[in-house]
Amino acid sequence: MKFQVISTDLDRIREDSDERLCRGGVERIGGEAIVTVDSKNSPKQKFTAPIRDVGAALDFVLRFLASDRSGIEEIRNLGDIQAVGHRVAHGGETFHESVIIDNKVTQLIEDCIDLAPLHNPNNLRGIRAVRELFGERTPQVAVFDTAFHTTIPEYAYLYALPYHLYRRHRIRRYGFHGTSHRYVAYRYRTLCNLTREQTNVITLHLGNGCSATAIRGGHSVETSMGMTPLEGLIMGTRSGDLDPAIVNLIATKEGMGPHEVETMLNTQSGLLGISGLTNDMRVLQEELADHDDRRVRLAIDMFCYRARKYIGSLLASMGGAEAVIFTGGIGENSAEIRARVCEGLEWAGIQMDDVRNKETVRRPGQISVEGSKLPVWVIPTDEELLIARDTVRCVLGEPLPG
Ligand code: ADP
């Protein structure tokens, strides 16, 4: 579980002067959990505490934030936390934008559990924990990872399966990382002084999970992830695209059940599966530099090739873009991977600037040469900021920008 405390209101949103008071996380929930808290004015804290589930983790964190130990001067007691925004994994076809959470909304999130059995129940636990701690008075807002992609047209989101499967089970592509793609597109258009309607870009979120989105007129029109976050690009431990017949073949040949195969595709594949070493791109790059390992090289080659292939395909699907934007842990930090992904895309108008590329790390900036027909950018994502801003707007009944 990750969290941030952000001080903001409509004026600060307009002025882009929201203030991050604290960020942190809780790992290894279910046993002796590791809690990290990094507050604005105090040294970083790291400690352990027994925490049984996500609900208990949220309860623990909120009480901690309101205590003297947190070092956040602006929060003296729980009443100083005025609203809570949750990142909710799956909003199915129901949620097109962020909403205030009430009983009806929690029921609808529950109805989406089939679509995200690992994530939505945890999101609900967090929502209930906040309600129990604060009562009904403190508003909560759900920000869905799928919402940004609900503008993808039917011909793009349907799988070519018997149609009744879509009707019966809502089997279709939903897409994920929506908050990140939306934030990056928003930041790009403010940096370039464009309106939402003028925003035609491809966003590449390359982190542990990876996805690429085509944004036309400010709306998502195509994305690489599908019914689940397994489809599309090669990721840290996920395979991305593959021939669906392979699932049955692996199950038969390896004596595995379909669930086991799916788990393997999610947790043992991707960069980890090919390299046989790690899912961590930074470690792979260090390993390649030190030992020139063949399978490490192959894993990185495959990763970059798949991303490049998606840029080409998204350019076709959206009828050309005005920029390609990198974000996520790999996209924000690794000039080498960005250069490799863009290699051979001169035909599409991309002319990278090596110096700019190397110098642009974890900050926004253009990394193609001035005059590149298709400019390339780096824009660090900030999903928490978008969640905080959506929360403010929902609570005050203000319209939500895309
Ligand atoms: P998540 O998707 O879990 O939020 P991140 O967006 O933080 O993850 O991305 C994690 C990935 O970013 C890891 O593969 C990590 O190795 C990679 N990464 C972080 N810093 C660098 C770097 N300097 N060079 C290459 N890869 C990096």
Q: Is the pLDDT of residue 118 over 90?
A: no
- 183-228: per-residue pLDDT in tens? 999 999 999 999 999 999 999 999 999 999 999 999 999 999 999 9
Handedness of CA 264, 266, 267, 268 (dihedral sign): positive
pLDDT at 354 over 90: yes
Identify the residue with better confidence: 114 or 283: 283
Do 84 and 73 form a contact (C-beta atoms < 8 A)? no
As for ligand 1, residues whose beta carbon falls within 6 Å of it are: 207-209, 236, 280-282, 285, 328-330, 333-334
What percent of the chain is predicted at pLDDT more than 70?
Answer: 100
**Scanning the structure block, which residue is given the tokens 């995200």?**
116
CA angle 229, 352, 372 (to 5 degrees): 105
Contacts of 141 (CB under 8 A, 6+ apart): 83, 84, 85, 86, 98, 99, 100, 101, 387, 390, 391, 394, 395
- Does the annotation count 145 as an active-site position? yes
pLDDT tens readout for residues 138-162: 999 999 999 999 999 999 999 999 9
pLDDT for the residue 384: 97
Give pLDDT, residue 41: 84
Q: 282, 296, 332: which to mutate for ligand 1, most atoms within 8 A of CB?
A: 282
Give the pLDDT mean for 240-256.
Answer: 98
Return the percentage of the chain with pLDDT > 90, whole number.
94
Cα–Cα distance for residue pair 251/253, rounded to 1 Å: 6
Mutate to test the pocket of ligand 1, among 286, 303, 333 (most ligand atoms within 8 A of CB): 333
Structure tokens at 7: 């001080």
pLDDT band at 179 (very low <50, low <70, confident <90, very high): very high
CA–centroid distance, 249 to ligand 1, in Å, is 32
**Predicted pLDDT of residue 71:** 87
The mean pLDDT of 335-359, rounded to a whole number, is 98
